[in-house]
Structures are given as C-alpha cells and as structure tokens.
Amino acid sequence: MGSSDLRRGLIGTLFNGYSEKHVKEELRPIIAKFKTDHSKVTLDGPQLTQAERQAMKAI
C-alpha cells in the first residue's frame, strides 16, 4: 500500500532493526535534517516545511 518508509516487504520491515539501507530516497533528506538539527522538533512533533509535508504525503 506504500505506507511504509522502507522499500521492503512485511518480513523485511519487521526485522529491519535500525538499518537505514532500505529507507526510501524521498525521505532521506528529511531524516538527515532531524538527526542533526533538533531545534525544529517540539513536543507536538517535528515542524515540517510545506515541501517536506508534500514529500511525506506522496509516500
């Protein structure tokens, strides 16, 4: 259905662990940004730009 952030099947997703090898290319820049810049993360969750919201909806 395309709702996962990984390009894997059910078993691969369940046993993926912390590996980022199979993360979808469209999400890599967003994930990288929040790994290094914690200023845009609040108690309500990350503060995404309009372009990042569109990228998340497209997946």
Say what the pLDDT of residue 6 is.
Answer: 58
- Residue 41: is it exposed, middle or buried by C-beta count within 10 angstroms (0-12/13-18/19+)? exposed
SS3 17: coil
Is residue 4 within 8 Å of 16, Cβ to Cβ? no
User: Domains of the chain: which residue ranges?
Assistant: 25-59
For 6-37, the pLDDT digits (tens) are 566 777 767 767 777 778 888 888 888 777 77
